[in-house]
Amino acid sequence: MAEQTPMMKQYLEIKAKHQDAFLFFRLGDFYELFHEDAIKAAQELEITLTGRGKGEDRIPMCGVPHHSADSYMTRLIEKGYKIAICEQVEDPAVAKGVVKREVVRILTPGTVVEKGMIQEKENHFITSITQFPDQTIGFIRTDLSTGENEVTLLGDDPQEIIQELTSSKARELVVSADFSSDKLTKIKEALTITISYEEDESELTEYKHLVHSLEQKKLQTTFWRMCQYLVRTQKRSLNHLQAVHYYPANSYLKIDRHSKRNLELTETLRDKKKQGALIGVLDQTVTAMGGRMLKKWVEQPLLNQTIIEQRLDTVHVFIKHYFEREELRDELKQVYDLERLVGRIAYGNVNARELIQLKRSLMKIPVVQALLKEMDAELEAHFFKGHTTYESLIEKLEASIIEDPPVSVKDGGIIKSGFHQELDIYRDASVNGKRWIAELEQKERQVTGIKTLKVGYNKVFGYYIEVTKANVASLPEGRYERKQTLTNAERYITPELKEKEAMILGAEEKMVELEYQLFSSIREEAKQYVEPIQKLAKSISELDVLLGFATIAENKHYIRPLFSSKKHVSIIGGRHPVVETVIPKGDYVANDVKLETEREMLLITGPNMAGKSTYMRQLALIVVMAQIGCYVPAEEAELPIFDQIFTRIGAADDLASGQSTFMVEMLETQYALTKATQNSLILLDEIGRGTSTYDGIALAQAIIEYIHDEVKAKTLFSTHYHELTSLSDHLKNLQNVHVSATEDQGHVVFLHKVIEGQADRSYGIYVAELAQMPRPVTERAEKLLVELEQGMKHIPVAATVEPDQIASDIEKISRPKTKPSNDEVEFIHEEPEQLSLFKEMDVLEERSPLSKKEKQLVKKIKELDILHLTPFEAMQKVYEWQKSLK
Ligand code: ADP
């Protein structure tokens, strides 16, 4: 192997320190990647893989131009990779030997703050966890674009970590190398997240002030790991980081990640869009900060009634004051994203345009305060007490920076005249010089009599006088000195012209330099305001969200929810906030929900598409809305404060993750049964549907009994197992309701009205009738149903079944191959026809000679995928088979 070139040596040394990142190695106008990095990047970015060197020593290489590198970097970051940016840190012209290079920043999915890489209305969190010997886990999330730091302590259960990571939408997780690999595997299975490592958790003096309010050492340690990682990767000032704020993990209404998805709180299940999710309806915010705050609220509804009531009180004030509210919203529309502006100030990359945005935003604050005061002085005090005034900063920005500055901060044209004497002198010199040159053209035309003579400028020769070839002869001898010959013209200079030129260029160079210095000092000055502006941003965001709540409450006729210490639910005329907006106006059928003593659980029956799951989701969304301090879509709503919401609301999309739908159904139900308390809300939709009928009914019944006797949470349970409705005879807290449907000229009409009591008939056969199934089929089906239902009566109704008993019974039922003992037989069913149907058929096939047609039919029945049939489709099949046998 040939010897390494010095540059390659340098590359390999740097790469060795950044194994987990793509090393973007600056070579002139390109960032180059080598070896493995090059091969992988060429694939991911679809760029050409080339090579350096020859034969065996050829090194794979690819590169991207420095000026368009951003878009390539964004693509890699989006895919979860990290990038170490290695720049030339000395001027190549003066470098002796290889130009010195250093990694100046490591871009990672969680730490990027660049505009195209992060969402405007979302926080962009990087997270870190630290495991402590007492089995607790410190969890922190930091948004580098806004400076927010939030820390909490979690228990040992990886689900808790996954829950926090999901609600933070974390892209990156920082851990120490000795963190439990078991837990890490579970996290990686559940989420797409970049894992980074940081071993250092020692204190950094520079940031010590951020942890003053944290009493527990564990929380501080959690922060220090994050801080060390940020310092190591960002390699620049992080003085916009806000004081670390502790939030108790159990101070929010807990909604596990499946339930969050199922309820479509922040995005729809199918296409992950905001439109169609709860937040799509609630987001009436006019600032990006407000949008982010709303998202946080929806992800974390509160448990503290006092804070919820404070928010509702504010919404109430805003509803009462329509005009002031609209005016306030108009003012807020003109407030820019203060949090992110401040982030850029602290980062040192804010430009003049953004400082003007800051100035304009700050100028709006007194107007906002005045409007609030007009509505309610206390409210104004609540939002603005203890806030700094920004007059001096506004004055400074007003005096120094022009209204429409360029984006670049290094090319001048930013600072106002009159702000700095020296700058004005240079500017005058430049302006005067230019005027002299402009006048020169006129003067020389008169003197020489050449009308086409002109004065021009180019970067190589500076200012010149140009005369066309045709006129050169009429130039007075010796008047100008020739500088350049073109095809059709000659270019000249004069000593005086060069003198002025030197003056202009000198002044301009000094001007640009001085402007940059002045701008940098203004930017530095603005840094003092980082903390108060962050506080201001928080108030503005909350105001924005609450103004939005008032707007939506008024537009959509929401009402203020009341919280009852009696712990019952009483909703009159409740609506689903999203469904009511997507169906034609006025078509939504409002429904009541009552859950109280002796009515803690509702068993909901009704045909498919009747509105069962909408009814259940509606309750959950009303609860979420109430606990974030928003008015709710109902005529009246009295609610307890729920501690957790669990849902199992069908969607076969989990198949993608490799788990069977039924397994997911069971896992989610298990989670609800083991974690729920009396203060929780459980919504179970069609539990047991994913397995065979008897299995399904048995499980559904056992689950209902367990919740009824042991968990005692408020529960809605929807089912198409009509048989379960008789459970209410034995379970005193269970009531039947059904969603009504009727018939109109041969069509099923869903009334979507939830009515007390069980549905009076089985809907499968009903729908079959409406579909004009041949009479003999439906009649036979009716008869069979009665027989089956009679058989079902033998299922024991265990009002006080022991949980252990239930568990072992479930286990037995799901092991049908074991020969059941006598008492098991009684529990499973006296009439095991269906469970052993196929076995019987095998026997049938062996014993009796079947006709060819019958054999085919048996084959078809065997192959039938029962789990994916609707009752109606099943009926159709039976009809076809019967017909084929006639
Ligand atoms: P199910 O769970 O009983 O199969 P869904 O709750 O999915 O039925 O409802 C089916 C459709 O019926 C919904 O997509 C919605 O368009 C409509 N719907 C449900 N509830 C109502 C209602 N209360 N008012 C008007 N339309 C409704």
**Chain segment 792-807, per-residue pLDDT in tens:** 554 444 433 344 443 4
According to the model, what pLDDT value does residue 380 have?
Answer: 93
What pTM was estimated for this model as a whole? Answer: 0.72
The verdict on 809 and 869 lying in the same domain is yes
The verdict on 224 and 195 lying in the same domain is yes
The verdict on 614 and 721 lying in the same domain is yes
Domain final position from 76, 107, 138: 107
Helix (H, G, I), strand (E, B) or coil at 692: coil
Which position has the token pair 């073109």?
486
Q: How far is the CA of 574 from the centre of ligand 1 (A)?
A: 14
Buried b (16+ CB within 10 A) or exposed e, 465-500: bbbeeebeeebeeeebeeeeeeeebbbbbbeebeeb
Type of residue found at 49: L
According to the model, what pLDDT value does residue 800 have?
Answer: 39
Torsion of Cα atoms, 776 then 779 then 781 then 783, to 10°:
-130
Give the residue, by CA position, lying nearest to ligand 1 atom 20: 611
Q: How far is the CA of 695 from the centre of ligand 1 (A)?
A: 27
The verdict on 638 and 753 lying in the same domain is yes
According to the model, what pLDDT value does residue 386 have?
Answer: 84
Q: Give the CA angle between residues 387, 392, 395 to the nearest 5°.
A: 130
Give the residue, by CA position, lying nearest to ligand 1 atom 4: 609
Q: Give domain status of residue 275, yes or no.
A: no
Buried b (16+ CB within 10 A) or exposed e, 276-305: bbbbbbbbbbbbbbbbbbbbbbbbbbbbee
CA distances (Å), 355 to each of 109, 193, 256, 407, 593, in order?
27, 35, 41, 11, 53
Pocket, ligand 1, Cβ cutoff 6 A: 579, 583, 587-589, 591, 606, 608-614, 752
The verdict on 640 and 680 lying in the same domain is yes
Q: Give domain status of residue 259, yes or no.
A: no
The verdict on 622 and 639 lying in the same domain is yes
Domain final position from 84, 107, 130: 107
Instruction: Output DSSP code: residue 57.
Output: G
Which position has the token pair 């997911």?
664
The verdict on 552 and 569 lying in the same domain is no
* Closest ligand 1 atom number to CA of residue 587: 25
Other C-beta atoms within 10 Å of 642: how many?
24
CA-based R_g, the chain, Å: 37
Torsion of Cα atoms, 199 then 201 then 204 then 210, to 10°:
130
The verdict on 540 and 590 lying in the same domain is no
CA–CA separation, 875 and 886 (whole Å): 17
Residue of 571, 648, 740, 752 with the most ligand 1 atoms within 8 Å of its CB, for mutation:
752
CA distances (Å), 872 to each of 173, 700, 866, in order?
49, 22, 12
Which residue from 592, 571, 602 is spatially nearest to 737, judged by alpha carbons? 602
Q: What is the pLDDT of residues 359-411, one digit of tens each?
A: 999 999 999 999 999 999 999 999 998 888 889 999 999 999 999 998 888 88
Domain enclosing residue 649, as ranges: 562-773
Please check whether residue 145 is in contact with residue 341, taking contact to mean a CB–CB distance below 8 angstroms: no
According to the model, what pLDDT value does residue 835 have?
Answer: 36
The structural domain count of the chain equals 6
Q: Give domain status of residue 273, yes or no.
A: no
- CATH number (domain holding residue 297): 1.10.1420.10
Give the residue, by CA position, lying nearest to ligand 1 atom 17: 611
Other C-beta atoms within 10 Å of 271: how many?
8
According to the model, what pLDDT value does residue 1 have?
Answer: 55
For the packed helices 391-400 and 352-375, what is the interaxial angle rounded to 10 degrees? Answer: 140
Please check whether residue 212 is in contact with residue 187, taking contact to mean a CB–CB distance below 8 angstroms: no
- CATH number (domain holding residue 721): 3.40.50.300
Q: Give domain status of residue 258, yes or no.
A: no
The verdict on 757 and 818 lying in the same domain is no
Type of residue found at 61: M
Tokens at 544, concatenated: 């924005």
- CATH number (domain holding residue 88): 3.40.1170.10
Q: How far is the CA of 610 from the centre of ligand 1 (A)?
A: 5
Q: Give domain status of residue 262, yes or no.
A: no
Q: Give domain status of residue 834, yes or no.
A: yes
Domain final position from 231, 251, 271: 251
Give the residue, by CA position, lying nearest to ligand 1 atom 19: 611
Which residue from 131, 109, 134 is spatially nearest to 119, judged by alpha carbons? 109
Q: How far is the CA of 613 from the centre of ligand 1 (A)?
A: 7
* Closest ligand 1 atom number to CA of residue 606: 3
The verdict on 592 and 726 lying in the same domain is yes
According to the model, what pLDDT value does residue 373 have?
Answer: 94
According to the model, what pLDDT value does residue 472 have?
Answer: 87
* Closest ligand 1 atom number to CA of residue 611: 6
According to the model, what pLDDT value does residue 433 have?
Answer: 85
Which helix (H) or strand (E) element contains residue 572?
strand 569-574
Type of residue found at 839: K
Q: How far is the CA of 817 from the centre of ligand 1 (A)?
A: 40
According to the model, what pLDDT value does residue 817 have?
Answer: 37
Give the residue, by CA position, lying nearest to ligand 1 atom 25: 588
Q: Give domain status of residue 268, yes or no.
A: no
Q: How far is the CA of 282 from the centre of ligand 1 (A)?
A: 21
| Number of residues written out for the chain | 886
Give the residue, by CA position, lying nearest to ligand 1 atom 10: 609
According to the model, what pLDDT value does residue 842 have?
Answer: 42
Q: How far is the CA of 611 from the centre of ligand 1 (A)?
A: 3
Mean pLDDT by 10 residues, the chain (886 residues): 80 93 93 93 90 83 90 91 92 84 92 81 90 92 92 87 86 93 89 93 92 89 96 87 85 87 91 92 96 94 92 96 95 93 87 94 95 93 89 93 90 90 88 86 88 88 89 84 88 88 86 92 90 92 97 96 90 96 91 93 86 93 97 97 88 47 79 89 84 80 93 92 86 91 69 82 67 81 78 48 41 37 32 36 48 78 73 73 74
- Phi-psi region for residue 768, left (φ > 0), alpha (ψ -120 to 50) or beta? alpha
Q: How far is the CA of 89 from the centre of ligand 1 (A)?
A: 64
The verdict on 711 and 584 lying in the same domain is yes
The verdict on 613 and 533 lying in the same domain is no
Helix (H, G, I), strand (E, B) or coil at 64: strand
Q: Give domain status of residue 730, yes or no.
A: yes
Which position has the token pair 């000198």?
506
